[in-house]
Structure 1
Amino acid sequence: MTTQQLTTARAPGAASTDRHGWVLALMSAAAFMAVLDTLVVTTALTTIQHAIRATPEQLGWTVNAYTLALAVSILPAAALGDRYGRRRVLVVGLTLFSLCSAACALAPSIGPLIAARAAQGVGAATVMPLTLAILGATFPPAQRGRAIGVWGGLTGLAVAAGPLIGGAVVQGLGWQWIFWINVVLGVVLVPLIVRHVPESRGPGGPLDLPGLALVALGALGLVWGLVRGNASGWTSPEILTALLGGAALLTAFVLWELRTRTPMLPMPYFRSRAFSAGHAAGFLMTASLFGAVFLMAQYFQIVGGDDPLAAGLRLLPWTATPMVVAPIAGNLSDRIGERWILASGLALQAAGLAFVALTAGTSPSYAALAVGLVAAGVGISMALPTVQTVILGAVPPSGIGKAAGSSNTFRQLGGAFGIALALALFTHYGALESPARFAAGFRPAVAALAVLSLLGAVAGACAPSRSGSLVTGGALTSPGDRVADGVAADARRQQADADE
């Protein structure tokens, strides 16, 4: 077995310190690129609308097409990475993402742009779960929190830099360059990943094609309903069919996964307290975060009268904290456990958002708002890396790819839910027509997002203090953990058979 053919179970012990550094840097850079793309595009929407003469509904589909394709493709991408090699599938995904970014930049009208954005979402779906799975396969449990903290810090930097880069690029170079940036990054990253990142796989076995189809169509139905609900009406036939159909398909997915001998996502994992609590906390965390980011950028522009670049600067007390705090939180989780860092982080984010909701008005004091933004920023910085460590630590090495895929799918669904909830409350209580009407809708929407973050803190507090028992062989804390340990043992035996 060559170095490039390392399996998931052996990668942590065999990789050198130098290799660890390369893996951490390249996986963090790839995640940075994917997150940056989402943020810079949102700042350019108005400019794109005027440049290619798109209607507001068409413009919305440049975001919806990407979101739908991303949510549908995450779990299949993780499964393909387990089956054919995580590095290989990541390289294919990054290449597709870069090529489609070029297609976006060259799009002459709204139709080709929407199509390219959908294909770009498929490529992006490989990045978050597979970079996370590769980190989990490379770093042993004692170092995993620190590594994921750095990874989370770089994604936090993308969140912080996204509005600034987007505003500066659109104003200085043109909207097409927000996509050409991805092409440049892809050209640099792909050959470096091929050279320096070891290959890793999950357990052998046939690909679960029925499971792939059920989860993809189910996620499509749910996300379609969430992103279209406010525009079409929550009781319209379109939305009810999408939501109920998506829920039915995901129920069928669970039933199928319980029956099949080679599940894409072993359902007994959810009997682990850490696995279930981590997914619930991740869903609520992302719902709160995405909804708040969506509203805050518009608040400073509509109520405060800022341009996109100035609005991005005002968000820095919130968005810049992850690159400082997340690595520290990841390091602390390795030392003292994840539960209270995760729970206290989401509680702090809830307190920060609640303070913003109370102090926001038509003539806000930025100093007062900044207090809430800093609190929310520190809180999300504590939670972002820790929730990933909780989930990855609850499964055996062979299940890391599946866990990363399911975690990112839950987070995408949470993001769509958070934005839909924020928009529903905003449109019920306020409107875009004036600063006063915007502030009237902004306050209850942000207050509801604070409640979601608080519920996430409760979910985080339900996790065990340390979630690495399945990986390290330590004592289990519940009957559900013992069931998951049996699944882990079976997975390890499958991995050993595959190695032979």
Structure 2
Amino acid sequence: MSATISEAADGLPPSLRTLAMLAVGIAVFMAVLDGSIANVALPTIARQMHATPAEAIWVINSYQLAVTVSLLPMASLGDIYGHRRVYCWGVALYTIASMGCAVSTTLPQLVLGRVMQGFGGAGIMSVNGALIRFIFPRSQLGRGVGYNVLVVGTSSAAGPSAAAAILAVSSWPWLFAAQVPFGLIALGLSVVFLPRTPRSRHAFDLPSAALNAVTLGLFITGLDGLGHGEGRQLVVAELAGAVLAGVVFVCRQLRLRPPMLPIDLLIARPIFALSSATSICAYAAAIIALVILPFYFQYAGGLTAIQVGLVLTPWPAAVIVMAPIAGRLADRYSAGLLGGFGLLLMAAGLVTVALVPAATAAWPDIAWRLILCGVGFGLFQSPNNRLLLGSVPVDRAGAGSGMLSTSRLVGQTTGSAIVAMVLGLTHGGADSIVWATHIAIGVAAASAILAMGLSWLRMLGQ
């Protein structure tokens, strides 16, 4: 039987806590992993389904779009119907959709399956932070957040390697079929061990969900088009539509109690607003570096794809090591101080990375710079997430969790678009790649410094 509300009021007993975190960890690992696991197989999928590369890219984009536009609505449903219920339905939908992807024979079928996976993944990612708040006592919330960051970091880093390992022994449908048994295990554990949480009494606002989807959908599509050289008029129309829908969305949220977009919390609780803004800037900085550096080392340094993967490994490895340590520190020290110092280290690491000559640098000379970035990013993540989740009322925990995931995805989407725009200015030569890398890393360092300033501002309210 799942834990009752009273049992979850200040965390579960240690014996149940481990199993509840296992339920959260397995599902979150799958949902985050799925954001990148199909990338490696994309050329094969396109060839077998007789699709162009532009058509096949929707195997990736459909998942990301579905996740992003449904995070806040799913978080609102979690506050209304219970985080455990939304989480379990998310795991179930994700698992069924994974099997649907595995048996797809046409590109439209696969894209539809990926959309369903995205909705299921949003059900998982929108409320997992809220569940952690009820799994761990408040005095150990940083530790729980640190474990969650560890899972997210590990799954992000493992995506390409896991995909390569599966494809080495089987075909692309197994990228999705292999997730089904893990989904069933996660669902069973979730039903039995996740805590029941308090529910809000407000109704679900369907117009807000639609406005949220239009705003974020047009914003992401417009940024993607801007980075990939689509027609200027279309891109301007998409971004203008996003702004218009966003204004209507925000105006509606100002009249709702409570709103789907927690604008009341963003206004009334500066720490919540600063933590969300810090997340957007920090994740944008990280994704800029992690997307541009493979081009730098491969085209300017002459490394193979496998060598590039090995060269970049120190960054996620450092995050994995640092996340649980930072989580424990966050239970004792100011998140604004820890996060700001971590982002300072990350900015310094980015500057040193921009100075390394890709063609002549030895692996140790590159590794220590990336470790500095990873340690800094890991030191930021857990304290920031803990403060963001802990700064919202218990009955709005879903809103806090949804805002945490939305901030991360908006930052990553913006950072990816910036890299695409910078690369669009190059013509494929080594010299132009070096120039583009220096610009992109400079933007990333500036974004990290801005995040550092926002993080330190939070010390005024702690």
Alignment partners' CA distance in 1, 2:417 and 2:264? 31
Map 1:93-108 → 2, pairs under 5 A: 93-108=90-105
After TM superposition, the structure 1 stretch with the greater mean CA deviation from structure 2, 457-466 or 236-245, is 457-466
Give the aligned partner of residue 455 of structure 2. 460
Give the aligned partner of residue 196 of structure 2. 199
Contact in 2 for aligned 1:26/1:193 (Cα 8 Å): yes
Q: CA deviation at 1:247?
A: 1.8
Alignment partners' CA distance in 2, 1:177 and 1:406? 33
Map 1:411-490 → 2, pairs under 5 A: 411-428=408-425, 430-431=426-427, 433-464=428-459
Alignment partners' CA distance in 2, 1:412 and 1:198? 27
Q: CA deviation at 1:28?
A: 2.2
Q: Which amino acid aligns with 2:216?
A: A
Q: CA deviation at 1:201?
A: 3.8
Deviation track 1:231-265 (CA, whole Å, cap 9, x = no partner) reads: 344x7222112212112222222221211234224
Contact in 2 for aligned 1:346/1:457 (Cα 8 Å): yes
Q: How many residues align?
A: 461
Map 1:380-391 → 2, pairs under 5 A: 380-391=377-388
Q: CA deviation at 1:333?
A: 0.9
Give the aligned partner of residue 219 of structure 1. 216
Q: CA deviation at 1:298?
A: 4.3
Aligned with residue 366 of structure 2, among 356, 366, 369: 369
**1:247 and 2:243 correspond:** yes
Alignment partners' CA distance in 1, 2:305 and 2:166? 11
Alignment partners' CA distance in 2, 1:92 and 1:136? 20
Q: Mark the CA change 1:53 to 1:373 in structure 2 (over 3 Å): closer, same or farther.
A: farther
Map 1:20-419 → 2, pairs under 5 A: 20-233=17-230, 236-271=232-267, 272-304=269-301, 308-419=305-416
RMSD: 2.2
Alignment partners' CA distance in 2, 1:424 and 1:274? 32
Residue segments in structure 1 that go unaligned for 5+ positions in a row:
468-500
Q: CA deviation at 1:448?
A: 1.4
Q: Which amino acid aligns with 2:434?
A: A
Alignment partners' CA distance in 2, 1:299 and 1:95? 41
Contact in 2 for aligned 1:232/1:239 (Cα 8 Å): no
Give the aligned partner of residue 13 of structure 1. 10
Q: CA deviation at 1:196?
A: 0.9
Residue segments in structure 2 that go unaligned for 5+ positions in a row:
none
Q: Mark the CA change 1:6 to 1:384 in structure 2 (over 3 Å): closer, same or farther.
A: same
Superposition TM-score, scaled by structure 2 size: 0.93
Q: Which amino acid aligns with 2:252?
A: W
* Sequence identity (%): 30
Superposition TM-score, scaled by structure 1 size: 0.86
Alignment partners' CA distance in 2, 1:283 and 1:202? 28
After TM superposition, the structure 1 stretch with the greater mean CA deviation from structure 2, 410-419 or 198-207, is 198-207
Contact in 2 for aligned 1:350/1:376 (Cα 8 Å): yes
After TM superposition, the structure 1 stretch with the greater mean CA deviation from structure 2, 51-60 or 129-138, is 51-60
Q: CA deviation at 1:202?
A: 3.6
Q: CA deviation at 1:308?
A: 4.5
Alignment partners' CA distance in 1, 2:281 and 2:88? 30
Q: Which amino acid aligns with 1:453?
A: A
Deviation track 1:436-463 (CA, whole Å, cap 9, x = no partner) reads: 4433322321221121112111111111
Q: CA deviation at 1:384?
A: 1.6
Structure 1 residue matching 2:358: 3-state secondary structure:
coil
Contact in 2 for aligned 1:86/1:134 (Cα 8 Å): yes
Alignment partners' CA distance in 2, 1:67 and 1:367? 35
Q: Which amino acid aligns with 2:81?
A: Y
Q: CA deviation at 1:405?
A: 0.7
Alignment partners' CA distance in 2, 1:103 and 1:254? 36
Structure 2 residue matching 1:112: 3-state secondary structure:
helix
